[in-house]
Amino acid sequence: MDAAYVTPSRGRARHAIHDTLTQRLLPRPLRSPPLRQHCCSGSDSGAVLAIGTVSLPCCLQRPGWRRSSTKYLHFQQRLVEVGAALACFPAGQREFQSREDAMRLAVLSLGFLTAMAAMPLHAQDDAQALRREIDAMRQTLEGMQQRLDRLERREEHAAAAPVAASPPMPAAAQATLNVPTTSGSLHPTQVPGVAQPVLPQRESVADPSTAASRPDSAAGPTDPDLKGFFAIPGTDTVIRIGGYAKLDAIADSRGAGDEDQFIPSSMPVGGSHRDVSNFNIHAKQTRFSFEARRPTTHGNLRFYLENDFFGSSDGYEFRLRHAYGQLGNTYAGYGYSSFMDPDSLPDTLDFAGPGGAGYLLVAGIHHSFALGKGNTLTLAAEDPDTELAGASDAMAAVNRLPDVSAIARMERDWGHLQLGVVARNLAYGGDTRRDRVVAGGAQLSGSASVGERDLLLFGALGGRGLSRYTADLTGSGLDAVVGADGRIDALDLHGGFVGYTHYWSDLWRSNLIYGQLTLERNAALPTDAFRQSRYGVFNLIWSPAPSWTMGMELLYGRLQQQGGARGDTVRVQGSLQYNFIK
């Protein structure tokens, strides 16, 4: 039976549904009476809402609308009224608070149309079912809005990325600005120290620069972006777990002494085993590192821990390489000596590197003074260790004072220069004899950009009692010698190296390196003691991805002893390395 008009009871039900949907689902600006009255009045009275096969003018969307032929059409029109209330506002009149409101409004309109086609004949009986369906749609829309919010945050982070290339900020400003978010997501510019690097970026297999101490814990040339840090929720601390896995395959033309590292001073000279070739595979250079940083009112705070597996020559024993903390410009702990210059060390697959380079891991404390324009002065005190040759069992090395050093450094965008001096007190004591001597030396080192990406690296050192601070002779007992008269004599030493890095392309690079180290002739030394070493390297390195490196290296080493005997060795080494973070 056809109904001429909407009955009062059904009219009230229609208004109840309309009001419920409006209050629960419309954006707040659309709930106000002026806007709802404006929908179907004035200049908009001729607006038409077309949904499916039904086209209704907005002027009809009010109580007492036109006759309908079926009950189904009556109810369909009631739902269309709700859709019209959502969609009939002109674009210029919609007062949305955000584009998420607009998106929610459009999806809701489509949802109402879908629900309209499947509704039963009686609105009063199915009002609760309709509300449940609308609640489900609202939950879906809220999920979509959350996803949209996440996408917008990512876009904001991407837009802020160029900030990393801005001029360096003062340490105090960074301590305020470089604070990680509590959500765990960390933008690179939020890592303390990231905005401070000055040196040209470079690649290195061994990567000594990452572990090096720098004023205010600034980023180094091999990791200017300080990648891989993540925030600890609820704190200002960021942490990173790093390191790499490295496999070395080594073939020696003759006995090289040390099968894992190429150290010319360890080469055997003479003997039946001298001309026997050798092959070796090891992964002792594999290392793990842990680093934590946070900004403070006194500068950036950094903690660094690193190890490898060179603890013994015949196994994979844990060896501590670095364990230190640094607050601002003050360093305390175990790691590189302040006298050495990690940024000048050349890029080799061999872990030892040129013997004429300064190299020492030691416990100590130092403080750096910023002089402006990339210039710094560092003063350090480090653990002493007198290494003597010719001492009898009745003589014992004595360490009376720490080794002290002063280092002046200049950094520019083309490279750097570093001049360091160290002073030592070498002594021994016995039942009847004792003596001491002041020793020390100096080192000049640096790096310089050549062309677009090539790099020149160099270092030269010399002094008395300086063997402990060289890569070839540290731990050899050749700082000084005790003569027959009981007097201690610090041994003269000088050496150096030069290396050149050439980039064939973004993925391929080569290094040509030469180093030499010479110790004075001394009659108190045995004839098989070290006199001179030479070290030469040429390699080809391929890095198809930032975290993957492989290469081949040709090495030549030569040793001359105090008595004049000589020996040399050729080594071929292939390496494969996977970096955890790069």
Long-range contacts of range 439-442, CB-CB < 8 Å, 24 or more positions apart? 439/463, 439/464, 439/465, 439/466, 439/479, 439/480, 439/490, 440/464, 440/465, 440/466, 441/465, 441/466, 441/469, 441/493
| Local structure of 60: helix, strand or coil | helix
Q: Which of 527, 528, 534 is nearest to 568 (CA)?
A: 534
Examine the pLDDT at 70 and tell me if it is beyond 90. no
Task: Return the pLDDT at 299.
Answer: 87
Examine the pLDDT at 392 and tell me if it is beyond 60. yes
Helix (H) or strand (E) holding 576: strand 566-579
Q: Which residues contact 294 (CB under 8 A, 6 or more apart)?
A: 192, 235, 236, 237, 238, 300, 301
Mean pLDDT, the chain, as a whole number?
A: 80
How many alpha carbons fall within 13 Å on the CB side of residue 248? 26
Query: pLDDT tens, 523-539?
Result: 999 999 999 999 999 99
Domain ranges of the chain: 8-158, 215-579
The better pLDDT of the pair 307, 165 is held by: 307
Task: Return the pLDDT at 434.
Answer: 87
Examine the pLDDT at 133 and tell me if it is beyond 90. no
- Distance from C-alpha of 273 to C-alpha of 252, rounded to nearest angstrom: 13
Maximum CA extent, the chain: 132
581: confidence class by pLDDT, cuts 50, 70, 90:
confident
Task: Return the pLDDT at 312.
Answer: 81
The better pLDDT of the pair 561, 55 is held by: 561
Q: Which of 152, 72, 70, 171 is nearest to 117 (CA)?
A: 72
In this structure, the strands spanning 508-519 and 492-503 are antiparallel
- Distance from C-alpha of 555 to C-alpha of 384, rounded to nearest angstrom: 33
414: confidence class by pLDDT, cuts 50, 70, 90:
very high
Examine the pLDDT at 15 and tell me if it is beyond 60. no
Examine the pLDDT at 92 and tell me if it is beyond 50. no
End-to-end alpha carbon distance in the chain: 78
Query: pLDDT tens, 283-338?
Result: 999 999 999 999 999 889 999 999 999 988 778 999 999 999 999 999 999 999 99
Examine the pLDDT at 495 and tell me if it is beyond 50. yes
Task: Return the pLDDT at 5.
Answer: 42
The better pLDDT of the pair 180, 348 is held by: 348
| Local structure of 263: helix, strand or coil | coil
Lowest mean pLDDT among 308-322, 343-357, 486-500, 535-549: 308-322
Let me know: does 301 contact 327? Beta carbons within 8 Å. yes
Q: Is 215-579 a domain of CATH 3.40.50.720?
A: no
- Distance from C-alpha of 22 to C-alpha of 58, rounded to nearest angstrom: 17
Query: pLDDT tens, 354-370?
Result: 999 999 999 999 999 99
The whole-number average pLDDT for the span 450-472 is 96
Task: Return the pLDDT at 390.
Answer: 76
Exposure string (b/e) for 560-573, b if CB count within 10 Å is 16 or more? bbbeeeebbbebeb
Lowest mean pLDDT among 10-24, 44-58, 221-235: 44-58
- Distance from C-alpha of 259 to C-alpha of 350, rounded to nearest angstrom: 11
Task: Return the pLDDT at 157.
Answer: 58
Query: pLDDT tens, 34-62?
Result: 444 444 444 444 444 444 444 444 444 44
Q: For the chain, what percent of residues have pLDDT higher than 70?
A: 69
Task: Return the pLDDT at 141.
Answer: 78
Task: Return the pLDDT at 195.
Answer: 59
| Local structure of 387: helix, strand or coil | coil
Task: Return the pLDDT at 345.
Answer: 98
Task: Return the pLDDT at 241.
Answer: 96
Examine the pLDDT at 31 and tell me if it is beyond 60. no
- Distance from C-alpha of 556 to C-alpha of 495, rounded to nearest angstrom: 17
| Local structure of 208: helix, strand or coil | coil
